[in-house]
């Protein structure tokens, strides 16, 4: 372990952790009782491990706040507390700020198009988010099999594979981060499990 004379993550990051924990306090991961905050910490950690800035790491903690916790008013509060740079990334990472949310396929198609022109900062955070989500799907698919898909509003695994493959194509164009390789590997593993065991000759 090495150390620096200047902290890489300051008080604002600690404040964002506390704010995110309170904002998502009653939220759990789909199909279980795991606190949703664990996902937010994982996304922020991936951003940091990929060389991201404090601004990006804070946005990683808050990337789902607009979608899940109040829409535009929450985005306004984030801007007031953490600044316009964080708010811009969070906004770009949200596939909707509408309450209630539009249909799943419509949101995902729009988000894929949006991501092609999103800022580099937003691409970093979005990529970390998708890596952590894909890892969770792979882990639970190994543990629970096809029952996993019943926890989603969209229960067809091919729809989820379409979404992740479409995202992967955009990320491959936008960044050379090692997280792209991680997403590709994870999606391939999910696809193999969805396809089922191959039958030999």
- Residue 91: inside a domain: yes
What is the CATH classification number for the domain harbouring 59?
1.10.3210.10
Burial of residue 68 (number of CB atoms within 10 Å: 0-12, 13-18, 19+):
middle
Q: pLDDT tens across 47-59, in order?
A: 999 999 999 999 9
Percent of the chain with pLDDT over 90: 75
- Residue 201: inside a domain: no
Mean pLDDT calculated for residue range 38-44? 96
- Residue 143: inside a domain: yes
What is the SS3 assignment for 71-83? CHHHHHHHHHHHC
- Residue 17: inside a domain: yes
d(CA 22, CA 145): 33
- Residue 62: inside a domain: yes
- Return the active site residues: 67-68
pLDDT for res 165: 98
Number of domains in the chain: 1
- Helix 157-174 to helix 120-144 angle, to the nearest 10 degrees? 150
Beta-carbon contacts of 102 under 8 Å, excluding residues fewer than 6 positions away, are 96
- Residue 3: inside a domain: no
pLDDT for res 130: 98
Q: pLDDT tens across 59-92, in order?
A: 999 999 988 777 889 999 999 999 999 999 999 9
Domain of 80, in residue numbers? 11-195
- Residue 2: inside a domain: no
Q: Determine the 3-state secondary structure of 27 from DSSP.
A: coil
d(CA 126, CA 50): 12
Percent of the chain with pLDDT over 70: 92
Q: pLDDT tens across 137-161, in order?
A: 999 999 999 999 999 999 999 999 9
Buried b (16+ CB within 10 A) or exposed e, 80-108: eebeebbbbbbbbbbbebeeeeeeeeebb
Mean pLDDT calculated for residue range 98-123? 91
- Residue 6: inside a domain: no
């Amino acid at each position: 372990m090495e150390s620096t004379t200047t902290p890489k993550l300051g008080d604002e990051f600690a404040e964002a952790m506390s704010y995110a924990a309170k904002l998502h306090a009653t939220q759990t991961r789909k199909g279980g009782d795991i606190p949703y905050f664990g996902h937010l910490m994982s996304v922020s950690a991936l951003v940091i491990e990929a060389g991201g800035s404090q601004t990006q790491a804070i946005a990683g903690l808050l990337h789902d706040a607009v979608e899940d916790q109040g829409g535009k008013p929450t985005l306004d509060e984030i801007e007031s507390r953490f600044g316009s740079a964080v708010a811009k990334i969070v906004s770009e990472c949200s596939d909707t700020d509408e309450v209630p949310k539009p249909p799943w396929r419509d949101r995902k198609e729009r988000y894929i198009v949006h991501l092609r022109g999103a800022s580099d900062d937003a691409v970093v955070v979005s990529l970390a988010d998708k890596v952590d989500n894909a890892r969770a799907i792979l882990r639970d698919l190994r543990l629970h099999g096809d029952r996993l898909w019943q926890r989603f509003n969209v229960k067809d695994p091919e729809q989820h594979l379409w979404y992740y493959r479409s995202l992967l194509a955009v990320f491959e164009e936008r960044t050379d981060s090692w997280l792209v390789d991680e997403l590709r590997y994870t999606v391939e593993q999910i696809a193999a499990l969805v396809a089922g065991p191959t039958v030999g000759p």
